[in-house]
Chain A
Amino acid sequence: MASDLVVEARGLTKYYGAQPVVNGIDIEVHRGECFGLLGPNGAGKTTTLRMLMGATPPSAGSLDVLGYPIPQQARRMRERLGVVPQQDNLDPDFTVLENLITYASYFGLRGPELDRRIAGLLDFAALEAKAGVSIGTLSGGMKRRLTLARALINDPELLILDEPTTGLDPQARQLIWQRLRALLGQGKTLILTTHYMEEAERLCDRLMIIDNGHVLVTGSPAELVRRHIEPHVVEIHGGGVEEWYDTIGRPLVQRGERSGETVFCYVNDERPLLDALSRRPELHFMHRRANLEDVFIKLTGKELREG
């Protein structure tokens, strides 16, 4: 295995009963990059991450993480891994500080070196003022930051984060993004899942979109937008939009999709479409550059996946 590869998975597969939940996926994650795993609810993201950390054995395929064969040597690998799980599992009976000390004990860490590290992590997580406070009184954002600090207790090379910002308000999310960027600056490798395309676009060097346990596409966010979607999107709504689209709009667009009252037009050249729209003042429209979300919706479909 090339030393630059932190994760190397070939044909990774997981069955629950007769159902393949992860179906023969290949993953390569390079040292120092931020790798994003995207997909609708139930796509197999968490299951994939659980296989990477050795929490569940793959049904088939080969897997190396940090140079260790998984699951055979998962425990040794985890000495160098940090995990932020999808569901917080902080110890509710403990204070912030006790949570960190207790988690450190699972790694066999103690003493003055640990005290220094914990002081640094409280600072990093902006929780110095909360060290003696019990978990129940923390906000969602603080809990998430504490979980992140806890995942860093062993100064890991690789960090696995399962939906690190789901359910957080924009300020709390921004703060987590800042911290994740700082970790990338320190040379750590990050693997994360997210539902927020703008989060993936901002943080990730490379992405993989999966659905039903299959890989749909892999590449950098810019690459995926370039390769898989027309560069311009015009969203149109208003009275008579359907009829207008069927008679006038359709020939002017490369691809159109209806979603409720709105028609999404994907075009290589937006000018003819905008000209046509300027003659119909009753139609409201918004023109923007195509983004990752458009790619995601195109590949995984518009229907709702309840969680």
Chain B
Amino acid sequence: MNFSLPVISVRWLPVWRRNLRVWRKLSGPALIGNFGEPLLYLLALGYGLGGFVGEVKGLPYIVFLASGIICASAMNTATFEGLYSAYTRMAVQNTWGGMLAAPLDIDDIVLGEIIWTATKSLISAIPILIVAAALGAVHGWGALWVLPVVFVTGLCFGAMALVITALAKSYDFFIYYFTLVITPLFLVSGVFFPLEGVPQAVQIGAQLLPLSHAVEIVRPLMTGQAPPAPALHLLVPLLYAGAAYWLATVLLRRRLMS
């Protein structure tokens, strides 16, 4: 097995651009639909549930919720793209096979796909940010700093998803990943409720996982405050992204070059 570190070159760009071209063609026109779901969530949960819970950690519940939903959406979007869409390109359409007959290597494809998943995270976060702003849940232009955090979150979960895709024998495999990894992560990362109430062990565990750190930065940014120790909080998802990037490259070399 070839365990060497991924080779980084600008050859990821045509891989990314191919996916962008497909997205522009198929989903671009439906972009307006991306506003619907966050609007419903923020209205129903933010005001409905918010009416009961009032303030959470000194924030109106809708503000608390909006920052959580942005991070969760970044995670879900990158995960979905890195699982189902990437698997389709790898095993069903054999798009990667075509690229590998051209002067691109697996390392180029993996990097291009990971950056694409993070791009999809951005595409999903922007409408949420706009809806949240329209509902008054965002304080000032400083909230735009949320976007780089969303991008890093996308890199992290996109790369992790590609590891799963590299091991998958069919789409069915992905259900387990959602049930065993993504959904629990979603529930223990402070998206819907603060972690103070949950057992200590879960709180400590969540600190080792990437999503809670993204939430920790995004929440103050949404309310116009400087996040505490942003570099440290970014480091965790970045470490996950780096390790998964390397592992996905190694596994896909083995799978596709056999």
Contact = CB atoms under 8 A, between A and B. Distances in A.
A94 B104 CA distance: 20
B58 to A, nearest CB: 47
25 contacts: A55-B100, A55-B101, A56-B258, A57-B257, A75-B103, A75-B105, A78-B102, A79-B103, A85-B94, A89-B93, A89-B97, A89-B98, A91-B95, A91-B98, A93-B22, A94-B21, A102-B21, A103-B98, A103-B102, A105-B17, A106-B14, A106-B102, A106-B103, A107-B102, A107-B103
Contacts of A75: 103-105
**Interface class of chain B by DSSP:** helix
Interface in B70-106: 93-95, 97-105
Nearest to B21: A102
A106 B104 contact: yes
Contacts, number: 62
Interface residues of B, number: 21
Interface in A43-78: 53, 55-57, 75-76, 78
A75 B105 CA distance: 7
Given A57-B257, A76-B103, A93-B25, A105 B97 contact: no
Contacts of A102: 14, 18, 21
A103 B104 CA distance: 11
A238 interface: no
A77 to B, nearest CB: 9
B115 to A, nearest CB: 15
Interface in B212-247: none
Interface of A: 16, 53, 55-57, 75-76, 78-79, 81, 83, 85, 87, 89-94, 98, 102-103, 105-108, 154
Q: Which of B18, B102, B257 has the most CB of A within 10 A?
A: B102
Interface of B: 14, 17-18, 21-22, 25-26, 93-95, 97-105, 257-258
A108 B13 CA distance: 10
Contacts of A105: 14, 17-18
A16 B95 CA distance: 24
Given A53-B101, A78-B102, A94-B21, 7 more contacts: A55-B101, A76-B103, A85-B94, A91-B18, A94-B22, A102-B14, A106-B99
Given A91-B95, A106-B14, A98 B21 contact: yes
Contacts of A108: 14, 103
A89 B257 contact: no
Given A56-B257, A75-B103, A107-B103, A91 B93 contact: yes
A105 B105 CA distance: 14
A282 B106 CA distance: 65
A76 B104 CA distance: 9
Contacts of A56: 257-258
B243 to A, nearest CB: 26
A68 to B, nearest CB: 12
A106 B105 CA distance: 10
